[in-house]
Amino acid sequence: MNQQSGTIERVKKMIAQSENIVVLLGIGAVIESGGENIWSSRECYRLEEKYHKSPDEMMSVEYYSARRDKFFEFYKNEIISDVLKPAPLYEDLKRLQKLGKVKRFITQNYYNLEHSAGLDDVIELHGNIKFNICPRCGKKFDVDYIKNSKGVPICDECSAPIRPGILLFGEKILNGLMTDAVNACEDADMIMVLGTNMYDNMVKFCTGNYNGERLVLITKEEHYTDRYADFVIHDKVSNVLPLIVPELPVKPAEKKTTQKIKK
């Protein structure tokens, strides 16, 4: 416990010294926001019992092409049924960004939590459930359109089936997004990995070229790969960030500027 509070103090200092932080957000951020991790063994088991197929089979591009009705049954029931509200950790991240500390957020989560929390500069490697598109005419559709449609959602412009805005199994992450993510991490003066572990493919890939000594992992569960991080804090991210992210300064200067503009 004492060791952990020492780490918290050191990380807090590091944030104060850094101005080019990249934040990698894992599934823990979704769970803290009230979501389920459908890839956890418990959930996988429950879903397999219910649908007689594994979630990765049902979320694959093959299944989407071959059994579109079944795909959307699963997608609507299990992926987009709950409206998630950003966990408190997002408030701290927003403050970190306002302080000019964050260069990029990178995530594989696709529940739109980052946007609804008001974060900018987010690389969504696996897309976003909110941004759906008709592959034929390009018309965009909100997640509610998918939710409220019966069976396979159909474009109201050209009648083509609408493509969900997230990456499916068997599809590759867009090259440009990957390059952006890797470059951002390579140039970062600090990396914060939140709510996942160093075994996560996104983390492995993105941090592969990072040569600094400020890779901080904050996550609830211990993992044998934790040693690949420079600093590790085991707790809920929403518990830790308030302890390490500085408060926003009170800005009398801003009032002056407003007055000047008025004059």
Choose which of 137, 142, 148, 246 interacts with Zn ion (CB under 5 A): 137
Token couple for 53: 């197929």
Residues catalogued as catalytic: 126
Within residues 188-227, the interface with Zn ion by CB under 5 A covers: none
Element (H, E) at 41: helix 41-51
Choose which of 9, 157, 171, 221 interacts with Zn ion (CB under 5 A): 157
Report the C-alpha gap between 237 and 113 in whole angstroms.
15
Choose which of 15, 123, 146, 155 interacts with Zn ion (CB under 5 A): 155
Is there binding between residue 136 and Zn ion (CB under 5 A)?
yes
Give per-residue burial for 180-204: e unless 16+ CB within 10 Å, then b.
ebbebbeebebbbbbbbbbebebbe
Amino acid in the structure at residue 112: N
Taking CB under 5 A as the rule, which mask of x and - marks residues 21-60 in contact with Zn ion?
A: ----------------------------------------
The site that binds Zn ion (CB under 5 A) totals a number of residues, namely 8
Within residues 82-101, the interface with Zn ion by CB under 5 A covers: none
Report the C-alpha gap between 145 and 120 in whole angstroms.
25
Is there binding between residue 134 and Zn ion (CB under 5 A)?
yes
Report the C-alpha gap between 241 and 19 in whole angstroms.
17
Report the C-alpha gap between 20 and 80 in whole angstroms.
33
**Which of the 8 DSSP states describes residue 77?**
I
Taking CB under 5 A as the rule, which mask of x and - marks residues 159-178 in contact with Zn ion?
A: -x------------------
Residues at the site binding Zn ion, with contacts judged by CB under 5 A: 134, 136-137, 139, 155, 157-158, 160
